[in-house]
Amino acid sequence: MNEAYIAAKERWARRQSGASRPAPRPTSERIPSGQREVHNFPVLDLGVKPSIPRETWELRIGGEVENPVVLKWADFMALPQVRDTSDFHCVTTWSQLDMTWDGVLFLSLAELVRPKSTANHVFFKGYDGYSTNNPIEVCLDDDVLVAHSWNGEPLPVEHGGPARVILPKRYAWKGSKWVREITFLDHDILGFWENRGYSNTADPWTEDRFS
Ligand SMILES: Nc1nc2c(c(=O)[nH]1)N[C@H]1C(S)=C(S)[C@@H](COP(=O)(O)O)O[C@H]1N2
Ligand SMILES: [Mo]
């Protein structure tokens, strides 16, 4: 049994039973220091915007899990769907508030593959060759999802469609666009930006930008 996974399921059950989330910050306090608010949702990538038709799209989830899977688009869309609104902070100093995402909770994906007790980190790979890494408990938060829609519309290719990871409590580079592979690990591996001077923890509220 994976402790982080059990704890996340317990939190989720409490929330479903009516226990409310912590009160959101007032809007005036939702822009972390060193950030400015934008409304135009800028695009950031490595110069590649891979175009993956939904018919051939696959999401591989494996590593330190009991039940590795390869999800086709229909399998992914058949999983429990959630809508969550969160704020988005890019380390290049822009933040956009109230981004509404539809998709599948990371917790639901974990439920499907059942992380082993040894799993403590998660490595994400994108179809563009990008990668990023996070501790498992960060991924199991109840606002982390693999999103396929933004503000009610299918995610456009430039923003990571068909599907991308959203991890609102970290700088946005911690969420892979065009996600293709999610690997549970028993150790940490640095991703693309983490290997190039960016913080491994990436907390916008402490301006945790560089390593
Ligand atoms: N696959 C992939 N995911 C990625 C990136 C990337 O280049 N490739 N850039 C990251 C960075 S630095 C940010 S700020 C956000 C940007 O998302 P957006 O282009 O939708 O604003 O995606 C993150 N995820
Ligand atoms: Mo970014």
Coil/strand/helix, residue 194 = helix
Query: Is residue 28 included in any domain, yes or no?
Result: no
> Model's pTM, two decimal places?
0.97
Q: Helices (DSSP H) in 32-105: which residue ranges?
A: 73-77
27 is a domain residue: no
The answer as to whether 99 is a domain residue is yes
* CATH code of residue 200: 3.90.420.10
Distance (Å, whole) CA 198 – CA 91: 9
Q: Report the domain count for the chain.
A: 1
Ligand 1 probe mutation, 132, 177, 182, 192, most atoms within 8 A of CB: 177
Query: For residue 162, how far is its CA from the centre of ligand 2 (angstroms)?
Result: 19
Is the CB of residue 43 below 6 angstroms from any atom belonging to ligand 1?
A: yes
State which residues of the chain have pLDDT below 70. 20-21
Q: Which domain holds residue 84?
A: 2-18+34-42+51-206
C-alpha separations of 40 from 37, 67, 96, 163, 177 in Å: 10, 40, 8, 20, 18
State the pLDDT at residue 20. 65
In a domain, 23, yes or no: no
CA of residue 176 to ligand 2 center, whole Å: 11
pLDDT at 55: 98
Q: How far apart are the first and last CA of the chain?
A: 33
Ligand 1 atom 23: the closest Cα is on which residue? 173
Residue 25 lies in a domain: no
Assess if residue 167 is contained within a domain: yes
Q: Is the beta carbon of 204 within 6 A of some atom in ligand 1?
A: no
Chain centroid, CA 192 distance in Å: 15
Residue 123 lies in a domain: yes
Where does residue 119 rank: exposed (0-12), middle (13-18), buried (19+ CB within 10 A)?
buried
Q: How far away, in angstroms, is 192 Cα from ligand 1 center?
A: 11
Q: Are strands 36-37 and 58-63 parallel, antiparallel or unpaired?
A: unpaired
User: 127: CA distance to ligand 2 center in Å?
Assistant: 17
Instruction: Report the C-alpha gap between 12 and 19 in whole angstroms.
Output: 10
- Minimal-distance CA residue to ligand 1 atom 5: 45
Question: What local confidence, expressed as pLDDT, does residue 25 receive?
Answer: 84
